[in-house]
């Protein structure tokens, strides 16, 4: 079923170019992974450029994304109703490229029924996968001030985390559970007395609750470790992020695995070999940002798997 909510894929050509850039080294019948199918912008362009014997495996937790994926009639394509942390279930060194396009898609934000946005009234849900797990409303019904403060501070980088958390709990005690996005946005607006020009006071709180309820940062850490395991030498890793918390994880992961590391506890042991070569850091151009303002915060990092494809040994 068609909806009025559409999605413009950010860094579309740049990401696919980077992902397929080492395909000549991938050998016969290469396998690529679109770890965040969304509405299929990257997947469709990848498929248009893959050889007939290649395969593309996609992952997504969103049932609406699965419905969109069902419209792709291509034997080379398959999708899994799973988060991308399940990437590690693929065989070791079996993948020629992995693409992560992090965050939420425009249809998720723009559809009030999903509860991601403070701009329209909807249920306070925010789950990527609405078939499982707790909604934000359900979590807020019982969470204490300290936990709410921690989530808003750590995942939203909100300096008014304490006052917001206290206001949420006070409102809940006085009038019962908070069930809609507009209720939450109003509470936050009353608690936040100053805000950057042009930014809604609820922006950081909504971001924090979405990231927390979907365990986005923890799943990203797991997925990057899985990519290290499943990528074959010469395979590409492409990560597009839209806020500093995601980008910091990707940056630190690549920094750790793109240099030799010596174990000070075993000074005569050989160093851990470099496992990635960092190739690029790309931001959208002025024309793309003008056409799609949501692209302005995007950062794409590209790296190539090198050396042994064996997973890193834990000390």
User: What DSSP line would sit under 159-207, residue for residue?
Assistant: TTHHHHHHHHHHHHHHH----BHHHHHHHHHHH-----TT--TTHHHHH
**Cα(280)–Cα(43) distance, integer angstroms:** 21
Q: What is the pLDDT of residues 114-171, one digit of tens each?
A: 888 888 889 999 999 989 999 999 999 999 999 999 999 999 999 999 999 999 999 9
Q: What is the pLDDT of residues 262-284, one digit of tens each?
A: 556 666 555 667 899 999 999 99
Q: Are 297 and 285 in contact (CB under 8 A)?
A: no
Q: What is the pLDDT of residues 63-103, one digit of tens each?
A: 989 999 999 999 999 999 999 999 999 999 999 999 999 98
CATH topology of domain 12-106+216-305: Rossmann fold (3.40.50)
pLDDT of residue 109: 73
Mean pLDDT of the chain: 89
CATH of 129-213, one of 3.40.50.410, 3.40.50.300, 1.10.150.170, 3.50.50.60: 1.10.150.170
Residue 80 pairs with which residues in a beta bridge?
Answer: 59
DSSP secondary structure letter of residue 114: G
Closest by CA to 305, choosing from 280, 279, 271, is 279
pLDDT of residue 310: 43
Decide: helix, strand or coil at residue 223.
Answer: helix
**pTM for this model (two decimals):** 0.88
Q: Are 306 and 276 in contact (CB under 8 A)?
A: yes
pLDDT of residue 42: 95
What is the bridge-based pairing of β-strands 31-34 and 55-59?
Answer: parallel
Would you kindly state where each structural domain of the chain is located, as residue ranges?
Answer: 12-106+216-305, 129-213
Q: Are 88 and 230 in contact (CB under 8 A)?
A: yes
């Amino acid at each position: 079923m068609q909806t009025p909510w559409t999605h413009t894929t950010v860094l579309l050509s740049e990401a696919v170019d980077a992902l397929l850039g080492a395909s000549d080294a991938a050998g016969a019948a290469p396998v690529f992974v679109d770890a965040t199918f969304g509405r299929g912008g990257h997947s469709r362009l990848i498929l248009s450029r893959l050889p007939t014997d290649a395969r593309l495996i996609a992952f997504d937790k969103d049932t609406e994304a699965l419905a969109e994926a069902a419209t792709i009639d291509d034997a080379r394509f398959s999708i899994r109703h799973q988060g991308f942390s399940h990437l590690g279930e693929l065989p070791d060194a079996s993948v020629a490229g992995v693409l992560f396009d992090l965050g939420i898609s425009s249809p998720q934000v723009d559809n009030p029924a999903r509860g991601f946005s403070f701009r329209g009234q909807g249920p306070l849900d925010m789950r990527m996968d609405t078939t499982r797990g707790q909604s934000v409303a359900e979590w807020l019904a019982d969470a204490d001030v300290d936990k709410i403060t921690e989530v808003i501070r750590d995942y939203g980088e909100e300096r008014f985390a304490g006052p917001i958390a206290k206001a949420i709990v006070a409102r809940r005690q006085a009038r019962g559970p908070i069930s809609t996005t507009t209720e939450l946005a109003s509470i936050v607006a009353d608690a936040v007395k100053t805000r950057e020009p042009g930014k809604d006071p609820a922006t950081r709180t909504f971001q924090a609750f979405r990231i927390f309820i979907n365990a986005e940062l923890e799943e990203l850490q797991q997925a990057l470790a899985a990519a290290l395991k499943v990528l074959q030498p010469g395979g590409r890793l492409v990560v597009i992020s839209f806020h500093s918390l995601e980008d910091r994880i990707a940056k630190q992961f690549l920094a750790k695995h793109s240099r030799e590391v010596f174990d000070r506890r075993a000074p005569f042991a050989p160093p851990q070999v470099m496992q990635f070569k960092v190739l690029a850091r790309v931001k959208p151009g002025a024309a793309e940002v003008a056409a799609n303002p949501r692209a302005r915060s995007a950062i794409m990092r590209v790296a190539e798997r090198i050396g042994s494809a064996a997973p890193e040994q834990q000390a």
